[in-house]
Structure 1
Amino acid sequence: MNSSSGALRLKGLVGSATALTLAALFNSGNRDFLLVQDDAEQAAYLFHDLNQLLGRDRVLLFPSSYRRRIGKGLEDAGNIILRTEVLNALQASSREALVIVSYPEALAEKVLSQQELNNNTLKIKTGEQIDNRFVVEMLNEYGFERTDYVYEPGQYAQRGSLIDVYSWAYELPFRIDFFGNEIESIRSFEVESQLSSSLFSEVNIILHQQSNKGEHFVSIVEYLGEKALMAFSGLDYCCKRMELVVEDLSTFSEAYLLAETSELIQAAKSTNYLEYGSGLSGEQQTEIQFNCSHQEKFSKRFDLLAGHLQKYKKEGYQLCILSNNAKQLDRITAIFEERQQQIAFNPILQTLHEGFCDHELKLLCYTDHQLFDRFHKYSLRSDQARSGKLALSMKELMQFQFGDYVVHIDHGVGRFGGLFRTEINGKMQEIIKITYKDNDTIFVSIHNLHRISKYRGKEGLEPTIHKLGSGAWERIKNRSKSKIKDIARDLIKLYSHRMQEKGFAYSPDSYLQQALEASFIYEDTPDQLKATADVKKDMELDKPMDRLICGDVGFGKTEVAIRAAFKAVCDNKQVAVLVPTT
């Protein structure tokens, strides 16, 4: 597109052909793109597709700060991270062009101005001479909460020469290690495992934007350069949605956070802009017509699919089947081979949201999840801030109440006495207090948290509190070890006999087995894949199988069991399904 103002409409794009076209257009120049979808879900799927095509570092999502309607629901920490990440990336002095994907409700919220954001950003570099007390003061000034350990955005913790801080501009918290007054290293780390993830030479610590009250808020379009291209699924629809948001929030106490629709329209029309959706705006537009069609539905009828692909192959089309699972591509090939249908297609180990067929380029791109009627889920890089914020042991620690029963692996059952900070060898550390019989007390460093667990016993029965140094706990452990050894001895004897027995060896997976497994709506998790493979391996041996599938409610145990049951039925065996009722 040239630099003159005007509107360009892309007509006839369907499915993920839209993402492919926008990615090609982005690669043809060196300018920022702001792509505006009609709603949050459409934006997330376009973000997913562009991530596959352009790479993770070039594409960012700019969502609303709220889980539901602006001002009517809870703020979403994960979304706030994504918004701040966009601002942080756009204000970087030296950077590549970026693609920002958004939707009307997100654009209706103003953001801190570039000057104000820069004033409220703490920039930290390795090798920099800085007093860690100054860093703590700045974090307090920015409104960060001091905790014993960080598990969600807006928190920081200090342990000796280490400062952990969870910025609002990155999906993982940072661990800043000082050597005296020099910053020795900066690493991101996983909250659950506390293990380092990546090494950084420089990071920006940014406050929660809405903690800054005042008139320093602007529309996101002010962050975009003059050469930036704005593209809309429908400009008129976007403007109407933004107007409805503003009208709905006319009594919103923080109305200064709402952007005017006129700013967006003026920014779009000041240069050329794109429309690529089904809705038409009233503007006179230059049109480019594409000849694309949606991926057809086959309802898992592989005879119909084979005939369809053969027809397009004869007409000279390039056939591509996309999946992010190599085993799924192998499964499709095996199904065709078992049906003795030679279908030559290009397997691509990356997937898009919706398949399409471009009749001008003679390119057919079909996705495996649509072929098998599976649900396709997108993932956002802020999911770690949204779920699984704490390791299990840390969650339990924060949920402990004074007097709760806990078990120390070396001392036995005691009562939780609280979490304290104390000075050890000149450094402040967190310790856990556990009280035993006769008010005996031990203190456990938070770094030895793995040695403590919550007491789990028969409901309604109070456990016996142990006395330190009495040897009672050691005797209980020794008795338990002895019983475990007896059980292990019996199991070894039993299994040695079982290994001598001959069982029925089931046949390898057939076409029917593959068709069944492809019919499940959701993709298997890694644990499901492993459990299924282990069960099948056992079934195909000529030795009796003895395997337990263990997992929490809703974690997919039944799907593994159904696969095993179907495998048995395919070899003319009967299967008993016991369904307990509660």
Structure 2
Amino acid sequence: VRGEILDIFPIGSEAPYRLYVGFDEIEKIKIFKPDTQITFGHTSEIKVLPMNELFFTDAEKEVVVDEVEAYFNKHTVSDLEFKKVNQDLDQLYNRQNLDGLSFYMPFFKDSNHALFDFVDQKKIYIIDKYKMAKNDDRMHLDLEEYIKTYKGRTLLDIPLYFKLDEIYAYPHIEISGFTKIGSQDELVIHARDPITYQGNYDAFIDRLLKEQDTYILSMSQLARLDKLKELLEAKNVSYVLNPTEVVVDMVNICYPYQQISFDLVKYGLHVLTESDIFDYKNNKRRIRYKSVMSEMVKISDISELKVGDYVVHYDYGIGKYIGLKEMELSGNVRDYLHIAYD
């Protein structure tokens, strides 16, 4: 916060936003780069997600606390469970440690919903079924540990999560990318990273005109959307904005939207984000330094040194051996190595 300026970097955003606040309203919103602080676009709205899933009004809080107390009064709970529930209710009431109170979420809703109940059916979500099963196993181990710790299972009876069988009941296609096709229900898809253009608009437009494949371009910033439309219209490239269904062999633009990017070359489908088109990635060539330490020889006697040899001093680095020099230090006369440094 700097005076009337507020900078925020919401979860899921590719860049932070700079809000210019005047009295009781936001006058303008700019997009800037965090490393240089230079603004490169503007927008009229932004989406700010909550820090956690458990958020509620004061009125909802009062109702939920009463419902939780009523729920546990109907059940036989152990002394440890009773103590934990009271501690949780205190934290819930004071909005503390909400990340650790997610199992009370069912009390805030009339019914449970999965992510798929809210998403557009035309969008594609890739979920690792193996990881889902592993996470489910870990969760059951945690629940078993809970029973041992609190000597009860009343909290476990709260319908907090969907079982895997309930999730698998949603319409879906199972994709196996690392095994041979074993049945007609399996589908193998070979995807690769897309070509990035790093601000080379001519190369990008030329490829659109030459290949005439199906392109899905996701834009999250209004300024870049306007720039993209300007580039396409200047070269008479047809496009459709926010189609209800993907139009084959045409440029499909989705705004405001963020997604991963990939190429399905076999099917002529290319999914790109605005970063793939506009962002310049400065891939500096790494300079390899060859170490000569392995070629050095550690001497054991002064007779092994010859005048003109290069030596490495522990503190002063590389120097040239000039010879022995007699010097008096602290009343003692001794021979010392004479090393010259540039």
TM over 0.5: no
If the length of structure 1 is used for normalisation, what is the TM-score?
0.23
The higher-RCO structure (CA 8 Å, 6+ apart) is 1
Structure showing greater radius of gyration is: 2
